[in-house]
Amino acid sequence: MYIISSYPVAVIFCVITMLCWGSWANSSKCTNDKWPFPLFYWDYSLGLILVALIYGFTMGSTGPDGRSFVEDISQANINSVLYALLGGAIFNLSNLLVIAAISIAGFSVAYPITGGLALVLGVILVYIKVPTGNPLVLFIGVGLVVTAIVVNALASARASAKKGNTSKKGIVIAILSGIIMSFFYRFVSDSMSRDFISPEAGKLTPYTAILFFSIGLFISNFIWNSFFMYRPIIGRPVNYKEYFTNGTLAQHLIGVAGGIVFNTGFLFSLIASDKAGPAISYGLGQGATMIGAAWGIFVYKEFKGASRTVNRLLLIMFMTFIIGLAFIILARFK
């Protein structure tokens, strides 16, 4: 299977993860009253499985090191498979909640809150299990990210006050999503061997871990997404019949594309964890919050007409976030 050779390459992979995780939700913009998000989400979950299989039979079956994709699946023990499946189910609930939060509060508010909390709590949980890198430098970076989250919250509060509205419901949902999301990477990481060149017997490699993660997400859709179909936080209720009658080919393909983008980022994060360590790999990937905020600010103009004070806060947020990510990168250098 394909394995990266150095930490700098791992950082590049993590940056790609950041871009993918911060951008995939744009595919949900194809949703409308006739094609609500829960219907789009079925295509997204199918896209996850599709791209996991594609990567498995290509990158996962290339190179002299490690185990091939099929061989890795055949030797996996039940505990490793269950950890990856559970990671998918946990992420799924969090992901559905953050999309609801984005719909209510916007990209630039919901993404930093959810991603920031998931970064802080997730890095702590993963680092406790697999301590990699300089902890002082790593957690200085995490602290700066927390600062960026607080600054973003202040900016959104001021902007909402000026517009005479509030997004408290969206913020609460985003916080809940972030707490739940912080656990999923730990379970997927626990399913994998720490050595990719000579993988531990019974454990998974990144290419099989992401497949079982995707299957776990899809299976849990029948619980989590079914709930949101019939009891939506926003929008109208939908049923399974509408998935087959209301969606156009283009809408189905856009949903699949969203899954492909997300899982490309996730796979690259798992591959990078070999040289970067799970905590740093996950932490850098969750820099996606900055990418999500950038989409909201610069593309969707969610802070259009904001005061100079709000704009200064947004600038401070981005600067603090970038510096925090730089510290997380430096934590692995000796």
Please report which confidence band the pLDDT of residue 160 belongs to, taking 50, 70 and 90 as the band edges.
low
Instruction: Mean pLDDT check: name the lowest of 51-65, 103-117, 158-172, 183-197.
Output: 158-172
> Which residue type sits at 119?
L
Predicted confidence at residue 161, as pLDDT, reads 61
- In whole angstroms, what is the distance from residue 249 CA to residue 145 CA? 40
DSSP 114-127: HHHHHHHHHHHHHH
Q: Which pLDDT does position 119 carry in this prediction?
A: 84
Q: Give the C-alpha separation, 249 to 240, whole Å.
A: 17
Task: Give the whole-angstrom CA distance, residue 9 versus residue 287.
Answer: 17
Residue 224 has pLDDT above 80, yes or no: yes
- pLDDT the model gives residue 33: 86
Residue 163 pLDDT > 70, yes or no? no
Q: Please give the structure tokens belonging to residue 240.
A: 């399974």
Average of pLDDT values for 104-129?
Answer: 82
Distance (Å, whole) CA 47 – CA 39: 13
Phi, psi of 64 (to 5 degrees): -85, -15
pLDDT for the residue 16: 95
In the block, tokens 């996606």 appear at: 288
Q: What is the mean predicted confidence (pLDDT) over 280-308?
A: 84
Helices marked H in the chain — which ranges? 7-23, 37-57, 69-75, 78-105, 107-129, 135-163, 168-181, 184-190, 206-221, 224-230, 240-245, 249-276, 278-285, 288-294, 308-330
pLDDT of residue 252: 96
The Cβ of residue 330 has, within 10 Å, a number of other Cβ atoms equal to 15
pLDDT in tens, 187-216: 999 999 999 999 999 999 999 999 999 999
Torsion of CA 313, 314, 320, 324, to 10 degrees: 140
Q: How confident is the model at residue 74 (pLDDT cuts 50, 70, 90)?
A: very high
The answer to whether the pTM exceeds 0.75 is yes
Mean pLDDT for all residues in the chain: 90
* Pairwise CA distance, residues 303 & 311, whole Å: 8
Q: What is the pLDDT of residue 108?
A: 66
Q: Residues, the chain, total?
A: 334
Give dist(CA 116, CA 72) in Å, integer: 34
Lowest mean per-residue pLDDT among 116-130, 156-170, 211-225, 261-275: 156-170
Which two structure tokens, joined as six digits, stand for 129? 């299990």
**Above 80 in pLDDT, residue 166?**
no
DSSP single-letter state for residue 202: T
Taking 60 as the threshold, does the pLDDT of residue 8 lie above it? yes
Residue 83 has pLDDT above 60, yes or no: yes
> Please, are residues 37 and 99 in contact by the beta-carbon 8 Å criterion?
yes
**pLDDT value of position 112:** 74
Report the pLDDT value the prediction gives residue 221, as an integer from 0 to 100.
97
| 289 within 8 A of 17, measured Cβ to Cβ | no
Distance (Å, rounded) from C-alpha 250 to C-alpha 257? 10
Give the per-residue pLDDT at 107.
Answer: 66
**C-alpha–C-alpha distance, residues 66 and 64, integer Å:** 7
The model's confidence at residue 170, banded by pLDDT at 50, 70 and 90, is confident
Provide the pLDDT confidence category of residue 250 given band limits of 50, 70 and 90: very high
Across the range 278-304, mean pLDDT stands at 84
Residue 251 Ramachandran class (φ > 0 left, ψ -120 to 50 alpha, else beta): alpha
What are the tokens at 6?
Answer: 């150095």
The pLDDT tens digits of the residues spanning 125-156 come to 999 988 988 999 999 998 998 888 788 778 87
pLDDT at 222: 97
Placement of tokens 């029948």 in the chain: 222
